[in-house]
Structure 1
Amino acid sequence: MLMQVLTAMEILDDPAVDGRKVCDLFKDFEGVHAEYETVKTPRGKTDIVRITISGSDASAPVLGIVGQLGGVGARPEMVGLVSDADGAIAALACALKLAQMKQKGEELVGTVFVTTHICPDAPTKEHKPVPFMDSPIGVREALKLMLSRRVDAILSIDTTKGNRIAKKKGFAISPTVLRGYILRVSEDLLDIYERVCGTAAFVLPITMQDITAYDNGVYHINSIMQPCTVAPNTPVVGVAITTEVPVAGCATGASHEVDIELAARFCVEVAKYFGRRQIKFYDEAEFERLLRLYGDFTRLVMGE
């Protein structure tokens, strides 16, 4: 999928990039619907992009792939594509690969819904150990607009380089989060990770803070798990693009194409099996037992 990653990077590495230019990439694919919505605030604007690649069975489970980020650029402070753009690059590469597969006659059983937002001049904010990218709109507001349709599971792809605990170059997957529970890591997703990478799986360590609302004043590794706060009844797994040393989200020249390709290829492989109901994000029976024993923790992830 390196070709799709490079195509996405070239489109996004443009001070004039917007939702229209991204959606134009998909206009000639039959069975693929791409749309964008411009959102303006006193802090700037961003374009919410939503791409639906329809599957052959309308009753099959729908996988959501979220390219989570603050912005693809931090202009005028920084020149060029920022590290924080990796989530958007990977998500768009997934959409492009799936659209091309469909065009060639290799249609997936299940529909895949890909979403991200495009802001080439996002603000930055202080964070330890390195600065984070900010956004013209809040994380929760952006995700509500991005996740505008029902999906049955979510992969949230995000640059996760500004920390001291996920220290390996490549990508990691998180435990599954559902209704306020941090569940065990899916064995099926571990299998796919190891097939795709040819290495032992790398698991992102997340905490209760990471699955709470982003603006509540507690420390978060980043916004990778925030889809669980707007879709608490949907299983969410983070796909974290990582490095060995802390790298600021607003750093340029810090996107590693091969690492993004691995993460994107992992998501496409998950999509193939998820629509056919051949993999699970969590053990339903075990989760039901947790609910009977300890109750529902949805209140912990809801920001309202």
Structure 2
Amino acid sequence: MSLKYVSQFYELLDNPHINGQKIVNILKSVSPPNAEIILNSVHYEEPEDTSQLCDFIKVIIPGTDGKSQGGHYPTLGIIGRLGAQQAQPNRIGLVSDADGSIVAFASAMKLLEMASTGSRLKGDVIITTHIATHVSITPHEPVDFMGMPVSSTTMNQYEVDAQMDAILSIDTSKGNSIIKHRGIAISPTAKQGYILRVAPDLVRLLEYATGNMAKTFPITTQDISPYDNGVYHFNSIMQPHVATDAPVVGLAITANTIVPGSETGASYENELIDATRFAVEVAKQFCWNKIKFYQQDEYDALYNLYGSLAQIQGTK
């Protein structure tokens, strides 16, 4: 059950002395021999405290017939998107912004455990996120944002992998007036500057994972453009889109009321469990070629009509 791993990482990330190596050690405790767990540490970037380190963690779980084995089954990317798990010294303990990383780590543990006991997927899974504990709090409407230890561009450098054929980007999204629902919700699919329709296959899996009607949230062109371009963004959940040609879907953890990501005591176990269950089921089905993040013929039709929109990603 994902409950075990969600609880484990909730407590680990609540520790003021947490760092990437401690997380890596936990992941390795259930890792099969063929999995890779990679730790990269980089210094914070201004305006944050450049004496601090941000630890990026990448987990690669090979499938039986994935690209890493010379096979043809697709690779799923799961990205836990956030600013930081803690806002020391201004806050004590785990903040709501940590949710994306909790789900990413819990999903990694579940998939590693499955692989180690023989329940291997067909395709590869790559899971990435980062650990940071000392960040500022940035003014934003309707609630303040957590600061970021490094730029969104640097995050994408370490968290978006060229081998990912589709990306599920997970982020707490409670500090807004757009989606008012306690649970989880998915976005439309974004691909190379286009906002496509919500993927029917993901709607179906979301309903299976939660036992409720699927909830979705809107995104705009602004949300899939680079984070530092000066325009308003819902939050950073769709930022992996600017660094990949693969389709990207946001998985938002939401609330009935506006809850700042910079506040403690605002991470809800049931939603984290649902998000982890959904992410693992998406991995099973996508890496088996049973579901799609978008319809290729629909994308091709749009491209033939209107051409490339890659400039929205910050490219020409």
What TM-score range do you get, normalising by the shorter chain? Answer: over 0.9
1:8 aligns with 9
* 2: CA distance, partners of 1:114 / 1:8: 15
2:134 aligns with 121
* 2: CA distance, partners of 1:89 / 1:32: 20
Q: Does 1:264 align with 2:270?
A: no
Q: Offset of 1:45 from its aligned partner?
A: 2.3
Q: 1:62 to 1:130 in 2, by over 3 A?
A: same
Of 49, 52, 65, the match for 2:57: 49
Matches within 5 A, 1:148-227: 148-227=161-240
* 1: CA distance, partners of 2:122 / 2:136: 40
Q: Tell me if the contact between 1:32 and 1:52 (Cα under 8 Å) persists in the aligned partners.
A: yes
1:243 aligns with 255
Q: Tell me if the contact between 1:225 and 1:238 (Cα under 8 Å) persists in the aligned partners.
A: yes
* 2: CA distance, partners of 1:94 / 1:27: 14
* 2: CA distance, partners of 1:155 / 1:148: 12
* 1: CA distance, partners of 2:114 / 2:161: 25
**RMSD across aligned C-alpha pairs, in angstroms?**
1.2
* 1: CA distance, partners of 2:148 / 2:199: 31
Q: Offset of 1:149 from its aligned partner?
A: 4.1
Deviations 1:35-69 (A, max 9, x none): 11111035232111101111111221000000000
Deviations 1:251-296 (A, max 9, x none): 0000001101101110100110111111010010111011000101
Q: Tell me if the contact between 1:14 and 1:120 (Cα under 8 Å) persists in the aligned partners.
A: no
1:20 aligns with 21
Q: Offset of 1:136 from its aligned partner?
A: 1.7
* 2: CA distance, partners of 1:149 / 1:5: 28
Q: Tell me if the contact between 1:57 and 1:109 (Cα under 8 Å) persists in the aligned partners.
A: yes
Deviations 1:108-158 (A, max 9, x none): 111110000100122210111111111121112111112244110000000
* 2: CA distance, partners of 1:243 / 1:191: 21
1:145 aligns with 158
* 1: CA distance, partners of 2:167 / 2:161: 13
1:39 aligns with 42
Percent identity of paired positions between Structure 1 and Structure 2: 44
* 1: CA distance, partners of 2:63 / 2:135: 34
> Which stretches of structure 1, 4 residues or more, deviate above 3 A after TM superposition?
none
Q: Offset of 1:10 from its aligned partner?
A: 1.4
1:96 aligns with 109
* 2: CA distance, partners of 1:64 / 1:32: 15
Moved more, 86-95 or 146-155: 146-155
* 1: CA distance, partners of 2:106 / 2:134: 21
Q: Tell me if the contact between 1:26 and 1:33 (Cα under 8 Å) persists in the aligned partners.
A: no
Moved more, 23-32 or 246-255: 23-32
Q: Offset of 1:25 from its aligned partner?
A: 1.0
Q: What is the aligned length?
A: 303
* 1: CA distance, partners of 2:297 / 2:14: 45
TM-score, structure 2 normalization: 0.94
Q: Secondary structure at the match of 1:206?
A: coil
* 2: CA distance, partners of 1:54 / 1:259: 28
Q: Which amino acid aligns with 1:276?
A: W
Deviations 1:55-101 (A, max 9, x none): 11122100000000000000110000000000000000000000111
* 1: CA distance, partners of 2:131 / 2:175: 21
Q: Tell me if the contact between 1:213 and 1:303 (Cα under 8 Å) persists in the aligned partners.
A: no
Q: Which amino acid aligns with 1:142?
A: M
* 1: CA distance, partners of 2:134 / 2:27: 24
* 2: CA distance, partners of 1:111 / 1:228: 20
Deviations 1:5-39 (A, max 9, x none): 01111111111111101111122321321111111
Q: Which amino acid aligns with 2:168?
A: L
